[in-house]
Structure 1
Amino acid sequence: MTPSSAKSGQSRKAKHCSELLGTGPSIDELVPALSLLGERLARILPGYLSPFAGGEPPLVRIGMPMDCNLASIAADIETLASHTLMAVGPKGLPMLAIFEAPSVLRLVDRTFGGRGDVPDEIPDSFPLSAELLLARIEQALAEALTMTFGGEEDHKVRPMRRDTSLRYLNPFDRREDLLQLSLEVEEPGVEPWSFSLAFPQQTLAAVSTAPRHPVRRDARQGAPDPAAEPYGSMPVPVTAVLVDMTIGFSRLSSLKPGDVLPVAIARSVPLQVDGRTIATGTIGEVEDRVAVQIQQAF
């Protein structure tokens, strides 16, 4: 063996030796990690999708992680689709979100008061209404993924750019091994819609080491911030108690249309949630509508 051939052999050995290169876990080793992340995302995501579901958190189901690459993703899509490149953390580790046209158009139809019908003929490009809706969904998904990955700045997810062509988007090498996770969103009385996420090995390895829950920076920190998700978007019925009066049963039983009950509205009107007073205020008017000006909150 000549010196050059020996050197070449050593190079080939180093090239294929993951221990020397430190390439991290393989795709097969990352499948359980993605399954765990998917289960966590299925619990967190409904709160972020509730604005697109009439205010009620939908049910999110996850599929089994599938190995793929960009070429196989493109081959599996039979119609128009929107692909969003997302970046994770300060290093901008890439991941991909795929939204096929039927799901997007179904959501657009519901946004404008329809039943979620899909046109018989899928258009060649997304209308502006669909583009605007996609931007909102991308942001909600990015925030949900950030919480899924641990909620820390090192795992913050940001939508970067979007395109209907994977070739023009060029998120990563077409031959790079990926893991893809499909998610289906179900709501009562309407057809479900779906999308999928694709992760390169390096990205998935980084986010799968994130803590299960956000680490508190201050040990004295109390209850979760009610303005933060998933609590911030939850609808809470609030009751303004204008009149609280006592009336005899005999008088109550004799009430008939046209009767007048003299009442006095208190100067301090309580605002209640589930029977508990959370604030008080005074009655006023804003643009010809009755309003309550908060004077004290508890």
Structure 2
Amino acid sequence: MNTEHTFVADRAAAQHCAELLRRGPEPGDLLPALGRSGERFARALAPALADLIGGDAPTVTALAPSELRESDLAAELGALAANGLLAPAAAGVTLLASIEGPAVLRLVDRAYGGKGEPGGPLPRSFPLSAEMLIARLETVVARCLGEALGEEPLRALRRNPRIEELAPFPAGARLALLPIEVMEGARAPWKLRLILPLSALPKVLGNSPGAAARQPSGPADPAAAPFAEVPLPLVATLVDMKVPLAAISALEPGSVLPVAVARAVPLSIGGAVIARGSIGAQDDLVAIRLTQITQ
């Protein structure tokens, strides 16, 4: 048996342009886009916090996002924090919203007539009065995040003041951290931290207003750029007739071929008939009056 063969390609291999072969952005490259979503979130959060805690709207600032290792999460959040897991519309994505524990206790103290300066060591867990405030804060954050991401309010899943017990992310995961700073007058600022897996950024940011503006919302408009300036040859076929080969071979200067111009002249682009019309004249030029547009 002869196992040697000469293989010949059935057709030329496809040669793709660099634009098609170029990879999409890495998740880490989307941190600036996360920062822009954070700015929208901050603008929505300021008046919402004013309605919740009373008084003038605080100054809410989205700080620069950064990468964070899951192993460093506990040190970043501290021993006590209002940690809540929220679910965006993107399937399989979990987002952590964490408010500093001392800030929560300050807000509770003010709500009950205090000066917002509780002293003493941090408790191991929040009192019931703080849990009620945390639930309201969670609702506000979920709604404002939904606005910033261009979707419905996020769903609250579960919460726990101890991040080790909540275990929101797989061990060793690379995370994206978006700090939000809240300043209430002359008081010391406090932070709300938004954290999600770095790999989830493309899903979460896909519905954000910035991304939606770059995506077409319907069929392309042929009268808009860049399509409007694309030249397409329009062919009007006045005569389409078959001539015997014998007649063609006998042609010579002076020969006359009788033709009949079609009453419905077809107009085509790329071989596809798009309209029909009748022959006429306009401004001493031959013209075609459209009588039918092909659907």
TM-score (norm 2): 0.59
Report the alpha carbon displacement of residue 188 of structure 1 after superposing the two structures with TM: 1.8
Q: Distance between the aligned counterparts of 1:72 and 1:36, measured in 2?
A: 25
Q: Is the 8 A contact 1:43 1:60 kept in 2?
A: yes
Aligned residue identity for 2:31: V
Q: Is the 8 A contact 1:84 1:96 kept in 2?
A: yes
Report the alpha carbon displacement of residue 83 of structure 1 after superposing the two structures with TM: 1.5
For the residue of structure 1 that corresponds to 2:136, the secondary structure is: helix
Matched, 1:176 2:184: no
Deviations 1:121-152, CA, capped at 9 Å, x for gaps? 111211111111100000000000000011x3
Matched, 1:165 2:162: yes
Report the alpha carbon displacement of residue 203 of structure 1 after superposing the two structures with TM: 3.1
2:206 to 189, 205, 209: 209
Distance 1:104 1:161, change over 3 A: same
Aligned residue identity for 1:186: M
Q: Distance between the aligned counterparts of 1:124 and 1:64, measured in 2?
A: 31
2:246 corresponds in structure 1 to none
Q: Is the 8 A contact 1:116 1:191 kept in 2?
A: no
2:72 corresponds in structure 1 to 72
Q: Is the 8 A contact 2:27 2:199 kept in 1?
A: no
Deviations 1:33-59, CA, capped at 9 Å, x for gaps? 111111111111112211233153221
Q: Percent identity?
A: 38
Report the alpha carbon displacement of residue 173 of structure 1 after superposing the two structures with TM: 0.4
Alignment of 1:130-149 (within 5 A): 130-149=130-149
Q: Distance between the aligned counterparts of 1:181 and 1:27, measured in 2?
A: 14
1:124 corresponds in structure 2 to 124
Deviations 1:12-42, CA, capped at 9 Å, x for gaps? xxxxxxxxxxx97434211111111111111
1:186 to 169, 183, 187: 183
Q: Distance between the aligned counterparts of 1:199 and 1:43, measured in 2?
A: 21
Matched, 1:199 2:196: yes
Report the alpha carbon displacement of residue 211 of structure 1 after superposing the two structures with TM: 4.2
Q: Distance between the aligned counterparts of 2:49 and 2:80, measured in 1?
A: 23
Report the alpha carbon displacement of residue 180 of structure 1 after superposing the two structures with TM: 0.4
Report the alpha carbon displacement of residue 76 of structure 1 after superposing the two structures with TM: 2.9
TM-score (norm 1): 0.59
| Structure 2 residue ranges without an equivalent (≥5) | 1-22, 214-295
Aligned residue identity for 2:66: M
Q: Is the 8 A contact 1:83 1:99 kept in 2?
A: yes
For the residue of structure 2 that corresponds to 1:209, the secondary structure is: helix
Distance 1:70 1:117, change over 3 A: same
| Structure 1 residue ranges without an equivalent (≥5) | 1-22, 216-298
Aligned residue identity for 2:124: D
Q: Is the 8 A contact 1:26 1:201 kept in 2?
A: no
Q: Is the 8 A contact 1:104 1:134 kept in 2?
A: yes
Deviations 1:191-219, CA, capped at 9 Å, x for gaps? 3222201021343212222242899xxxx
Distance 1:84 1:211, change over 3 A: closer
Report the alpha carbon displacement of residue 92 of structure 1 after superposing the two structures with TM: 4.9
Q: Distance between the aligned counterparts of 2:38 and 2:90, measured in 1?
A: 22
Aligned residue identity for 1:158: R
Matched, 1:47 2:47: yes
Q: Distance between the aligned counterparts of 1:202 and 1:212, measured in 2?
A: 20
Aligned residue identity for 1:171: P
Q: Distance between the aligned counterparts of 2:114 and 2:154, measured in 1?
A: 32
Give the alignment's Cα RMSD to 1 decimal.
2.4
1:280 corresponds in structure 2 to none
Q: Distance between the aligned counterparts of 1:122 and 1:95, measured in 2?
A: 25
Q: Distance between the aligned counterparts of 1:123 and 1:173, measured in 2?
A: 27
For the residue of structure 1 that corresponds to 2:207, the secondary structure is: coil
Q: Distance between the aligned counterparts of 1:109 and 1:174, measured in 2?
A: 36
Q: Is the 8 A contact 2:177 2:194 kept in 1?
A: yes
1:96 corresponds in structure 2 to 96
Aligned residue identity for 1:207: V
